[in-house]
Amino acid sequence: MISNLAALPIVIPLIAGVLAALFHKKLKIVRVYAQVLTLINTGVVAYILFYVHQNGSVILESGDWMAPFGIVLVADMLSMTLVLTTNIVAIACIFYAPQSLSQKQEEFYFYTFYFLLISGVSGAFITGDLFNLFVFFEVLLMASYGLIVLGGEKVQLRESMKYVLINLFSSMLFVTTIAFLYSVVGTVNMAQIAERVGEVEQTGILTTIGILLFFVFGTKAALFPLYYWLPRPYIAPNPVISALFGALLTKVGIYSLLRVFSLIFVHERDVTHEFFIWIAALTLIFGSIGALSTNNIKLVVAYNIIPAVGFMLVGIGVYNSTGFSGTVYYLVHDMIIKAALFLLVGAIAYLAGTSDLRKIRGLIHHYPLLGWMFFISAFVLAGIPPFSGFVGKLVLLQGAMEADRIIIAIIGLGSSLLILLSVIRIFVRGFWGEKDESITPNRNAARGFIMPVVFLLFFSVILGVGAEWFYPSIESIGDYLMNPENYIESILKE
């Protein structure tokens, strides 16, 4: 009975989304409904996380089909931590949405797509079955296709074509890779795949399949050289939708990499994990240069997704407990801060009337709180103490040092500086300078935009200042990932 808990984070948003479609035109009701349901879901998820923390993983064998035969849902510490973070981001976005979206966009099923997206993301984190992971990828992608064209502007339609095509192609590659894997190991249950790959010591064909899977998840997570599709489609839709995409979608890709390459393909690390380090280095360099290359403030933030993914890949590549803890910590940190930044630049672009940095100046005179919030989030992003970015990067670099990877540590620190430069440039040029008299300040709108961001930054600060409280749990997740036999045993129960 208690094992049914594992399905709740998927089922609640799914049902909520379907019901929201029934009264999509009654905006007042649907807004409150969506906010309440999001809060309830977050409460449930927080309870499950607490339960898992106390009693160990909750495993649901759906339809009572025994583990390797049926689909299993695995709510362990890693997946539940990420689901909770997803829901925290969701709360900020749902309270930001009414200010940011036009009436037409809200009426055209924004709340339905939003809940389906949350459901898909949570499902991808929780599932313990590789094919089911593909299905949840499709659920969240379908919702994201709906969200990206919401409004139907020229730019959106143009960019969404590319977005849908690249995702469709990588999904088909995913299915093909699963077919390969099935023909070799004869199962799609992740625990059993891991067991069987371990039995045959990961022969050449399995390493090839591993690299293929890396390309699939690399496309979704936006790694070098597969990130070129990411920045433009992400800035085309409304800021609140960009925030959901930037905070959640690429992170599902990096989570899948973390899961697959800590559990299944761990026997040929000289090939796979060595390769990741170099890919991570290139991702860091090209992502941070990309962020410096543009004057469009939304594009700056969208480019900043890429080096963050590079950082997380470093933790997977170095393959030690500290590296994994760093990746998990950074994942949580990055989901929150990317959402905050997208919401902030959305607010700036809305209040200043343009997203071209050359045309924005002196905003701090009109909106002091907005300015300081942006300043703090720039520091969080770049990793300046005492905020969460600092702790995440510190642990990752510790992991890299333990594995004697000095070069990647230097590249990481260097790109942190470039990241700081890219976002502080927005602060210096956009907020400082002469007062722009042509703008009539809209304080009410600004307050509605800022509160959700304050909420997110609160978590960022807590995560940084209170690192002592959170770190032991994160460290135990790192140890758990280093010992995949725990995961395998908990599911197959032999």
Partner 1 sequence: MELIMSILAGVLFTAGVYNLLQKQMLRIIIGTALISHGAHLFILTMGELKTGAPPILDYDIEHYADPLPQALILTSIVISFGVTSLLLVLAYRASKENGTDNMEKLRGNEND
Q: Which residues bind partner 1 (CB under 8 A)?
A: 131, 134-135, 138, 142, 145, 149, 152-155, 157-161, 164-165, 168-169, 171-172, 175-176, 178-180, 182-183, 188, 232, 294-296, 356
Least Å distance, CB 179 to partner 1, is: 4
Q: Rounded to an integer, what distance in angstroms lies between the CA atom of residue 338 and that of residue 328?
A: 15
DSSP assignment of 151-168 equals T--HHHHHHHHHHHHHHH
311 by Cβ neighbours in 10 Å (0-12 / 13-18 / 19+) ranks as buried
Pairing of strands 58-61, 72-75: antiparallel
In sequence order, the β-bridge partners of residue 20 are none
Least Å distance, CB 233 to partner 1, is: 10
Least Å distance, CB 131 to partner 1, is: 6
Nearer to partner 1, 41 or 127 (CB): 127
Q: Rounded to an integer, what distance in angstroms lies between the CA atom of residue 473 and that of residue 454?
A: 25
User: Could you give the 3-state DSSP secondary structure of residue 129?
Assistant: strand
Least Å distance, CB 107 to partner 1, is: 18
Nearer to partner 1, 145 or 470 (CB): 145
Least Å distance, CB 117 to partner 1, is: 15
For 106, which DSSP code?
I
396 closest CA partner among 344, 331, 299: 331
Nearer to partner 1, 90 or 345 (CB): 345
Least Å distance, CB 187 to partner 1, is: 9
Nearer to partner 1, 33 or 131 (CB): 131
Nearer to partner 1, 91 or 184 (CB): 184
Nearer to partner 1, 268 or 356 (CB): 356
Nearer to partner 1, 4 or 176 (CB): 176
Which tokens hold the place of 65? 């089909």
Q: Rounded to an integer, what distance in angstroms lies between the CA atom of residue 389 and that of residue 330?
A: 7
Q: Quick check: 251 and 82 in contact, CB under 8 A?
A: yes
Least Å distance, CB 149 to partner 1, is: 7
Which tokens hold the place of 100? 């940011």
Q: Quick check: 20 and 112 in contact, CB under 8 A?
A: yes
DSSP assignment of 398-434 equals HHHHHTT-HHHHHHHHHHHHHHHHHHHHHHHHHHSSS
Nearer to partner 1, 165 or 200 (CB): 165
Q: Rounded to an integer, what distance in angstroms lies between the CA atom of residue 190 and that of residue 374?
A: 41
Least Å distance, CB 430 to partner 1, is: 17
CA dihedral 449, 431, 427, 447 (to 10 degrees): -10
